[in-house]
Amino acid sequence: MNRSVAPAKMLRGDDPRDLAHAILRDGNRGAVARLAQMALAGDEAATEALFARVVEPLCDGFTAQGALACDRVMAQVIDASRSVPACAPLTRAMAAEGIDGEGGLLARAGWGTHGRVGGAAAPRRIGVLSRVTLGADLAITVPLIRGLAARWPDAEIVYFGPPVGQAAAEAAGARFVSTEYGRRVGLAARLNAWADLRASLRQETAGLGPADWLLVDPDSRLTQLGLLAPGPRLAYRRLPSRTAAGGISGRHRPRLVRPHLRHGHPRHPAAPASRRCGLVRNGAARAGDRCTPACRRGLRHRRQRGQAGRPRIRGRSAARPCRGGLPHSAVARGRSG
């Protein structure tokens, strides 16, 4: 793989939107490499296309195939960044962690997503990573902090994230540690955020044993959705949110936080609305939308056959249902941050 970044004058003929389309159409690795080169060279349009036109659509599908495709794209992008001078902090941190190439990144994608939390039966300190946007932190990270505090009341909870979420995290009882991640900055700055996070983690875990520390990652952009998971010396738990079967919301919430989230989570449908309503399947639904006539006819048909009843909504206050009896929520199209 050619890791050199082409000069800006060689990239003028490339349209980031066309490259993004080629990636989504057939997983074109050449298009990924070119788009990464452009973004790492400081092309703002290329960075926007990478995240808004490739990463977010793959994550918004809530499928295992989309999550895997996103991991492969970002692994190739991160690997390409290692020879870029602007990404020197990331390169040094990856070398220190022993991460070598795309294979090493993809190997970490599944870390911490299965089984019990190893080595952290009664942690003294718990780190929680931000979702880097205020809306996602209010919907996911803050209830997660409350759930962890309810399960381990004697543990100190530390929130790692940008200042935008500081007030919300501190109100939930967490100590704030600033870790910048700009969603309006270049690709190199976004990737280097992991090096800053790694340095903060080393400082916070100094003097603590493996059983004293737990890091919880709600699919944070700080670790690029788990590709840059911390080393094995840390007890690490990632809560995947990019598939319907592994999502943080609904009946698939991990047991780690489910008891508390049942009462403290924002009032949204118990499962992605795409499972129950055809309107969401074509991407047309938004919060507050009404069912189409075809949707209502399908619902009546299923009820007549005994296959569907009124949806069960978790939480003290249910989302307002539409005419067809099905609540539509923007959670069904939540973004990755």
- Does position 328 have pLDDT exceeding 90, yes or no? no
* Long-range contacts from 146-149, C-beta under 8 angstroms, 24+ separation: 146/172, 146/173, 146/260, 146/264, 147/256, 147/257, 147/258, 147/259, 147/260, 147/261, 147/264, 148/216, 148/256, 148/257, 149/173
The band of 3, judged by pLDDT with boundaries at 50, 70 and 90, is: very low
- The answer to whether residues 130 and 141 touch, using CB atoms and an 8 Å cutoff, is yes
The answer to whether 177 and 170 are in contact (CB under 8 A) is no
Which residues does 239 contact at the CB level (< 8 Å), separation at least 6?
113, 144, 216, 217, 218, 219, 248, 254, 256, 257
The region of weakest confidence among 5-9, 27-31, 96-100, 265-269 is: 265-269
Which pLDDT band, with edges at 50, 70 and 90, does 262 fall under? very low
CB 186 within 8 A of CB 49: no
User: How would residue 299 be classed by pLDDT, with cut points 50, 70 and 90?
Assistant: low
CATH architecture of 125-264: 3-Layer(aba) Sandwich (3.40)
Q: Where in the chain is the domain with CATH 3.40.50.2000?
A: 125-264
Burial class (CB in 10 A: 0-12, 13-18, 19+), 284: exposed
